Amino acid sequence: MVEKHNEKKTVVVGMSGGVDSSVTAALLKKQGFDVVGVFMKNWSKDVGDYGCTWAEDSEDARKVAHVLKIPFYVWDFEKEYHDRVVKYFLREYRAGRTPNPDVMCNSQIKFKLFLEKTLKLGAEFVATGHYARVTDHGSHNAYHLLKGVDPAKDQSYFLYTLTQKQLSKVLFPIGGYQKTEIRKLAKKFKLPNFAKRDSQGICFIGKIDVTDFLKTNIKAKKGEIVSTNGEVLGQHDGLPFYTIGQRSGLKVGGNGPYYVVSKMKRKNQLIVTNSPNDKELWKKEFEIKNVTWTADPPRLPLNAGVVIRYHHPAFRARITYHVSRNKKNLKIKFNQPQRAITEGQSAVIYQDQKILGGGVIDKIF
């Protein structure tokens, strides 16, 4: 496997103000690239009790760029984020699904708008601080997207929509490192944010209470919480505010804890169980839509590993074509039942370290 060579080419690094993207810029400069730092301003509103930190984060990125002696700019994608990511996020929750905004953020902003603007300005590559790897095999379907070597930080799950064209223009310099090594490198490079804590939260907003954010933006009717045995246990705040497998926040007493197993939209009922082994919580088969592949589509049927949520292990499954509602989706059947398969989440298909592609979970059987 051969990594892409720099040959004194220009790379634009998406710098968030965090340690990972800062070390990304430092490593690329050390490798001989002409590096340009860019902070993407995607969100500036305070949400609930959480203040938006974009101004501080952009200043942290600027300080790093100053230390590295590289040009630095702020690109404003706030309108595009709202139109392409936030609206999608809220629309999916209103429909009773649980979307993954980080996947949409990557496909629509970082590796679409950001990449397109970078190439128009004459740069050869974009780079981000994702824990993933891209290798070039020098042939048709040359670029392979691989897991990051640190299993605790691997972010390949969020990148499954990348195509060959995008992979040929993307660099992930820290994907071959452990997180502990990145911290040490930040200190070695004398980066001013070497001790900054990792950010947690939604891609476009940051650290927030998701339920509070949803309740601020979605009007929903309260309804009954009903057990799988038909017993009315309490009242829910609105179906969009719950997700399959959820345990906390149900406010149901009695013989708990209870877990959400489904949503009965027609009756506006939230169905729960107090058995973690309830068959309604564990399913084997589902359908995915909006399927994309990182290279040419593989021949189906295919046996491969499938991941149904971030940091969930890849479990063996059989993947086949499934024509549904006049659309050619894929049907996935696990060898063993999996807990809380959730509509709206992404199912990502792996062969060992390599990401083949994936899609959005659409129907569970």
Place of tokens 């050619």: 328
Question: DSSP labels for 201-243?
Answer: SBTTTBS--HHHHHHHH-----EEEEETTS-EEEEES-GGG--
Nearest to 241 by CA among 259, 214, 263: 214
Q: Is the dihedral of CA 24, 106, 109, 53 positive or negative?
A: negative
CB 304 within 8 A of CB 289: no
Is 118 strand, coil or helix?
helix
| Beta-bridge partner residues of 298 | none
Catalytic residues: 105, 203
Q: Which of 98, 97, 89, 111 is nearest to 159 (CA)?
A: 111
Residue from 142, 145, 126 nearest 134 by CA: 145
